[in-house]
């Protein structure tokens, strides 16, 4: 070993070697892919519940069959899509930092060719993202012509109209979207609101070289002081940039958990950490009263628990295989699903005068949109992965993530 990291982590280097055999695609990779698949499916189902089914308050005003009531009550658990995106951020940090974490804990210097890293990220994210932008324009144009009530924010539903009033293709929104930071200039791109999180990811990728340089020299500064600075009350008031920076600690959390995993901490105590973190996270989240700092503490605990539980487990079975299959397609599903659901919702408002009173459209729409997104994956993203940019991979940096980036697919 060489460098000061070997002195700081004499036992962890051995743990890295001991854990390495467990890090193949059939090990932790399958659990993380399944987690990604579950998260994207959860977000899609939550959006379908909102756009394609009447609200719960309106539902309870009528008498329904017990089976329909059970489905309605279960669907109430789909309201936490924002929290699912927080887990996505932590998962991204976990995966992107993985190879550098291994190099650091072996005592080496995680040097890499940053130009190739950024080219690889751009090639990985860019084509499906461009397809999503084109799909958004197409869906919004068709919907605006055939079923304009929703797109013109004239449905009479307060929340839906407030959301739709922000849709459009102004110069600021188009320019930000062209730079892969949707929403950065105060306007989104058409009806595809969920793209905001991709803009955050792009910022975190751009910041990674500087953060890794700090991590090599001052771990406490990288994992402790910097995240605390991001949580200062004044940061959140900086508009889109403030929002993005205030969520950066979750990405750093994922990177820290990646180092813990290489050290064997998650392998030995992952179950205990998962249970404790989830209980703490849910408690803080439910009792925090909405304060930003308290809410972030809940996010941190929740993300820690979910990732620890996913990484620590030995995931097998047909359900894990199915979710892993969906996880490989999760990026295309995430960036493409919302304009398709909005188009279906616009049809419902025009045809039925509102969202359906039964859950058939939400269930059927979810399945149909999921199928369409998987088809779009086959058309674009699958071909991108098959023709991946060749990058020199010497094991010293995240330019080629674990299992040929099997865990780095998607958001």
| Rounded distance between C-alpha atoms, residue 108 and residue 97, angstroms | 14
Confidence at residue 405, expressed as pLDDT on a 0 to 100 scale: 41
Q: What are phi and psi of 342, to 5 degrees?
A: -60, -40
Per DSSP, the three-state class of 184 is coil
Whole-angstrom Cα distance, residue 371 to residue 223?
Answer: 40
The per-residue pLDDT for range 91-125, each reduced to its tens digit, is 999 999 998 988 888 876 666 678 888 988 999 99
> How far, in Å, CA of 85 to CA of 36, rounded?
10
CA distance 155 to 150: 6
Q: What is the pLDDT of residue 261?
A: 87
Model confidence at 11, pLDDT cuts 50, 70, 90, reads very low
**Averaged pLDDT for residues 28-43:** 89
Q: How confident is the model at residue 34 (pLDDT cuts 50, 70, 90)?
A: very high
What pLDDT band is residue 252 in, cutting at 50, 70 and 90? Answer: very high
Predicted TM-score (pTM) of this structure: 0.84
- Average the pLDDT over each of 97-106, 157-166, 175-184 and give the range with the smallest value: 97-106
pLDDT in tens, 335-346: 999 999 999 999
The answer to whether the beta carbons of residues 398 and 100 sit under 8 Å apart is yes
pLDDT at residue 262 tops 90: no
Rounded CA-CA distance 34/28 in Å is 10
- The first and second tokens of residue 237, run together, are 């008031």
Confidence (pLDDT) at 1: 36
CA distance 32 to 405: 12
User: What is the C-alpha to C-alpha distance for residues 271 and 266, in angstroms, rounded to an integer?
Assistant: 8
C-alpha to C-alpha distance for 145 and 350, rounded to whole angstroms: 12
Say how far apart CA 381 and CA 127 lie, in whole Å.
7
Task: Look at residue 332 and tell me whether its pLDDT is greater than 80.
Answer: yes
């Amino acid at each position: 070993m060489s460098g000061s990291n070997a002195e700081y982590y004499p036992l962890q280097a051995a743990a890295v070697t001991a854990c390495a055999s467990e890090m193949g695609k059939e090990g932790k990779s399958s659990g993380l892919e399944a987690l990604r698949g579950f998260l994207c499916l959860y977000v899609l189902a939550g959006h379908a519940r909102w756009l394609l089914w009447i609200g719960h308050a309106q539902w309870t005003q009528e008498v329904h069959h017990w089976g329909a009531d059970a489905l309605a009550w279960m669907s109430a658990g789909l309201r936490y899509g924002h929290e699912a995106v927080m887990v996505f951020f932590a998962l991204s940090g976990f995966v992107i930092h993985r190879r550098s974490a291994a190099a650091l804990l072996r005592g080496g210097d995680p040097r890499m060719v940053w130009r190739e890293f950024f080219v690889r990220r751009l090639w990985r994210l860019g084509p499906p993202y461009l397809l999503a932008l084109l799909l958004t324009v197409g869906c919004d144009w068709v919907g605006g012509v055939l079923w304009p009530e929703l797109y013109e924010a004239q449905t009479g539903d307060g929340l839906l109209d407030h959301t739709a009033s922000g849709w459009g293709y102004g110069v600021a929104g188009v320019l930000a979207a062209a730079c892969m930071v949707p929403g950065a200039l105060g306007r989104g791109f058409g009806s595809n609101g969920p793209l905001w999180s991709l803009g955050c990811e792009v910022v975190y990728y751009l910041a990674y070289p500087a953060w890794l340089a700090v991590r090599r020299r001052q771990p406490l500064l990288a994992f402790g002081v910097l995240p605390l600075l991001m949580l200062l009350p004044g940061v959140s008031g900086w508009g889109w940039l403030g929002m993005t920076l205030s969520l950066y600690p979750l990405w750093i959390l994922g990177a820290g958990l990646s180092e813990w995993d290489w050290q064997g901490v998650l392998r030995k105590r992952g179950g205990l950490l998962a249970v404790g973190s989830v209980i703490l996270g849910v408690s803080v989240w439910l009792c925090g009263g909405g304060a930003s700092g308290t809410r972030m503490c809940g996010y941190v605990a929740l993300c820690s628990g979910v990732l620890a539980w996913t990484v620590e487990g030995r995931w097998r079975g047909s359900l894990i295989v199915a979710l892993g299959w969906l996880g490989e397609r999760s990026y295309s599903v995430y960036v493409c699903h919302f304009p398709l659901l909005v188009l279906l919702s616009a049809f419902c408002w025009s045809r039925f005068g509102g969202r359906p009173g039964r859950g058939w459209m939400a269930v059927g729409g979810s399945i149909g949109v999921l199928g369409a997104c998987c088809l779009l994956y086959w058309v674009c993203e699958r071909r991108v992965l098959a023709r991946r940019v060749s990058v020199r991979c010497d094991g010293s940096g995240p330019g080629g993530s674990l299992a040929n980036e099997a865990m780095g697919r998607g958001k």
